[in-house]
Amino acid sequence: MYNVLLVDNEPAILSALSHAIDWAAHDCHILNIARDGREAMLQFAQEAPDIVISDIRMPEVDGLELARWISENHPACKVIILTGFPDFSYAQQAINYRVVDFVLKPTSEDSLLAALDKAKQRLAEDQVRKTDKQADVLACELFLHQLIFDPVQSLLYTMERTNALGLDLSSCYVLRFGLDDIHTEADRIAFQSEVREMWRQAMGEYTVYFIPRGERFCYIILCAPVGFDPTEACHQVVQTVQQTTDFQITVGISAHHHSPLELSDAAREADHAQQLAEYSPQMPVISYGQLPVLSDLHASRITEELRTIQSALENRNRGAVISGLDRLFAYLRREAIPFPSVRRIAVILYECGQGLLISYNLEILLTDASLASERALLDSGAIDEIEQLLRGYLTAVLDRICMNATDLDDLVFRVKQYIDQNYAGELSLEGLADYVHLSASYLSKLFKREVGQNISGYIQQVRIERAKVLLRTTAMKTYEIAEAVGIPDPVYFSKLFKKATGQKPKDFRLEEEK
């Protein structure tokens, strides 16, 4: 059954439309009514209709403006315009806004049913296209999943499937992006869906397929020519995520590959690159060509040791840092890891220290002559010298951080206080980080650890609680309250409010007035 929203500023017209036809007999249901375009927009936050039947002339937001808004924000919805004038000079606008049909007033049952049938036909066609497209994409992604995780496939079978699915994997990369581990599993799963559109936009004309691996990681199959370097596009996505959310992501990029039979190898390359990117705050995007040349077994063990050392640095645990370095270099010596690879591993740890200084707003120390330089590591000629330089550098970094560390409880209190006092304005992770002179990534982790929820979640909580107060104590309209609490889009505000409270704003107010 199709849900219909009726929009007209004349109550008599709304009543007549409601009773003009037997809606149920035509597989339709009157979902709601609205008295102007603005009120209609608010109705979408509660439940989006399938069909909107709207008068063209209304105060504030007229029918064409409503149609434009629907085409931009809810393109699946079909719009029928009612007009009392046979002048269709605005027809081109209506075409641009994908209006299904015009119906002249006074409205006859036949003309309304004819327009309704057109809208229903369009909806049915959209559903067929959507279902077909989803089925095609799902089939492709299932096959790609098979190539990555079950690579023992015959060449004949692989070629037949790629041809049948229309896949061109003769020139491709595999990317793996990882999400930080400070968010809940549900938040990460929801964000993986949101971030896909960012990837599609960043890759432009090139086709991408997404193969999730748990809730923290996802492979991206990028079909692009050998001359295309995905690095810049990956940095663009990382930057967009940092500026618009409180998530942190890291990306690993495989070498360029020429065959679907190489996807499993490409995925392993992306694995190693992304794992090392997690331990280099200065380098959230790493390509396979930047990695030390190591076997899978060595790479796995070394990555685990790097993870331990990074965690110890973040927790300012000097003993754990030293013991981690001892284990790492003992392994490098025992397994006779090639010296160029040892040097690259040392640079990764050096970058960890650099990132830690930046997170504590100690960038001035990056050029401190008393700290070992990256050039000294690169110029060193022996593993003993590299170990000594790293040990001295990382312990010196910890010394400076401990001398300059801000009291964490006070810092988090200042952030919460700022949010409580400025919830009506624009708030962002980057802005809050600037306010307390920390990096965005460090503040995000610190706030989550100390408060138990993400900064974005806390901001939303403060705004919703203030909105509740305004709904209880004032006669302000919903869109006025939305703006007053820092959420200028009333549709988005209503959606957030219902998600947080289980009620629409107007229902909450009615409940409180009882």
Over 71-92, what HEC string results? HHHCCCCEEEEEECCCCCCCHH
The whole-angstrom separation of Cα 198 and Cα 240 is 8
Burial class (CB in 10 A: 0-12, 13-18, 19+), 324: buried
Same-domain status, 278 and 303: no
Residue 3: which H helix or E strand, with range? strand 2-7
Edge-to-edge strand ranges of the sheet holding 249-253: 207-213, 217-223, 172-179, 249-253, 285-287
The answer to whether residue 133 is domain-embedded is no
CB 474 within 8 A of CB 281: no
- Are residue 369 and residue 437 in the same domain, yes or no? no
Nearest-5° Cα angle at 115, 111 to 116: 115
47 and 7 belong to one structural domain: yes
Number of neighbouring beta carbons within 10 Å of residue 488:
12
Residue 147: which of 132, 159, 137, 135 has the closest Cα? 159
Residue 229 lies in a domain: yes
Tell me, yes or no, whether 391 and 452 share the same domain: no
423 and 387 within one domain: no
Question: pLDDT digit of tens for each residue in the chain (514 aa)?
Answer: 999 999 998 888 888 888 878 899 999 999 999 988 999 998 888 889 999 999 988 888 888 899 999 999 999 999 999 987 765 566 677 778 888 988 888 888 888 899 999 999 999 888 888 777 778 888 888 899 989 988 777 777 888 888 888 889 999 999 999 987 666 777 777 787 788 889 999 998 999 999 988 878 999 999 999 889 999 999 999 988 888 887 888 999 999 999 998 999 999 999 888 887 876 666 889 998 887 666 677 877 888 888 889 888 877 788 889 999 999 999 998 888 888 788 888 888 888 888 777 766 665 555 555 455 667 777 777 888 889 988 988 888 887 776 655 556 678 888 999 999 999 999 988 889 888 877 777 788 778 877 888 898 899 999 999 999 999 889 899 999 999 999 988 888 998 999 889 899 988 888 877 6
Closest by Cα among 188, 225, 224 to 209: 224
Query: In angstroms, rounded to a whole number, what is the distance separating the alpha carbons of residues 391 and 372?
Result: 10
Question: For position 59, which CATH number holds?
Answer: 3.40.50.2300
Question: In terms of domains, do 112 and 20 share one?
Answer: yes
Strand partners, 103: 82
- Residue 266 structural domain: 168-286
Contact 223, 208 (CB under 8 A): yes
Cα–Cα distance, 23 to 91 (Å, whole number) = 27
CB 166 within 8 A of CB 209: no
Among 97, 126, 155, the domain boundary falls at 126
- How many beta carbons lie within 10 A of that of residue 16, not counting itself? 15
Same domain, yes or no, for 416 and 488? yes
The token duo for 261 is 């039979």
Q: Among 376, 405, 434, which residue terminates a domain?
A: 405
451: β partners: none
Q: Quick check: is 301 in a domain?
A: yes
Instruction: Based on the fold, state whether residues 374 and 444 are members of the same structural domain.
Output: no
Per-residue model confidence (pLDDT) at position 67: 92
Q: Please indicate, yes or no, if residue 154 is contained in any of the structural domains.
A: no
What does the buried/exposed string (b/e) look like for 53-76 if buried means 16 or more CB atoms within 10 Å of the residue's CB? bbbbebeebbbbbbbbbbeeebee
- 175 and 261 co-located in one domain: yes
Whether 60 and 37 have beta carbons less than 8 Å apart is answered as yes
Residues 401 and 417 both lie in one domain: no
Within the chain, what is the greatest distance between any pair of CA atoms? Answer: 91
Question: How many CA within 13 A on the CB side of residue 197?
Answer: 4
Residue with tokens 């369009």: 122
Number of domains in the chain: 4
Q: Nearest CA to 5 among 26, 423, 41?
A: 41
Our CA dihedral for 35, 41, 42, 44, rounded to 10 degrees, sits at: 120
| C-alpha pair distances (Å), 63 with each of 9, 80, 388 | 11, 9, 73
Q: What is the pLDDT of residue 52?
A: 95
Residue 477 structure tokens: 């309209």
Q: Is the domain of 250 the same as that of 309?
A: no
Instruction: Assess whether 251 and 175 both reside in one domain.
Output: yes
Question: What single DSSP character describes residue 150?
Answer: -
- Residue finishing a domain among 245, 265, 286: 286
> Cis before residue 59, ω within 30 degrees of 0?
no
Q: How far apart are CA 210 and CA 221, in angstroms?
A: 7
Report how far residue 199's alpha carbon sits from residue 213's, in angstroms, rounded to the nearest whole number.
17
Is the preceding peptide bond at 225 cis, omega within 30 degrees of 0? no
* Main-chain phi, psi angles of 500, to 5 degrees: -80, -35
Identify the CATH number of the domain in which residue 251 sits.
3.30.70.270
